[in-house]
Chain A
């Protein structure tokens, strides 16, 4: 799990360097951390033989974070809603929800095997982006 902390710290620095405010930096760092935890825990199931790949990019208009695991994959559109009354007292199932809540865009791609998450935080308003 040490790598999760490294990824989180790198995302936090990138967001701060990009000029995001304190709250937005926190949102980015938390979302990227959740993506990394998800990849290690649920994707690769703690199997050290499976790798996590990540890449970060500041395009000037967006911060783009890509985290990929080598797990069995999952259906992001079929995850239980953690805010539903029957789920709110469950002890898990909030990671993807938090990622979606904290970032401007989240995309999923199935790699067979594995899942790639792309997290996007806009730096500029939509009309100013290329």
Chain B
């Protein structure tokens, strides 16, 4: 299943609800475009809801890292919400789990931007 991205605003935070796979040729480009669009518009608080992301490959990991560094370089803050076990395991394996701010519940994630 390709990646779908829905955007919503919660207390000044743009939450991107991601659903599907973040892989080369499926979700990587959509995610890159969505993040760049938000950062380009000056959005500083971005939360990626990964609760329905079933799979991420090395290309998807690369996009997440790029999104993180791009955000940071632009003075924005990109955080992750609700990792599935598969995504959690891959982030842990690649040590990226220690790079991102990751939250299990949305209220805590939103509150962390204040």
Seen from chain A, the residues whose Cβ lies within 8 Å of a Cβ on chain B are 1, 4, 26, 30, 33-34, 37, 41, 82-83, 88-92, 94-95, 97-98, 101
Determine the main DSSP class of B at the interface with A. Answer: helix
Binding site for A on B (CB under 8 A): 23-25, 55, 57-59, 61-63, 65-66, 68-69, 86, 90, 93-96, 99
> Are the C-beta atoms of B94 and A94 separated by less than 8 Å?
yes
Q: Are A89 and B69 in contact (CB under 8 A)?
A: yes
CB-defined contacts of B23 to chain A, threshold 8 Å: 33
On whether the beta carbons of A94 and B58 are closer than 8 Å, the reply is yes
Q: Known: A4-B25, A94-B62. Contact between A89 and B99, CB under 8 A?
A: yes
**Chain A hits for B55, CB < 8 A:** 30
Contact A33/B65 with A26-B86, A41-B24, A88-B99 known, Cβ cut-off 8 Å: no
Q: Is the CB of B93 within 8 A of A95?
A: no
CB distance from A103 to the nearest CB of B (A): 13
> In the assembled complex, which residues on chain A have CB atoms less than 8 Å from the CB atom of B58?
34, 37, 92, 94-95, 98
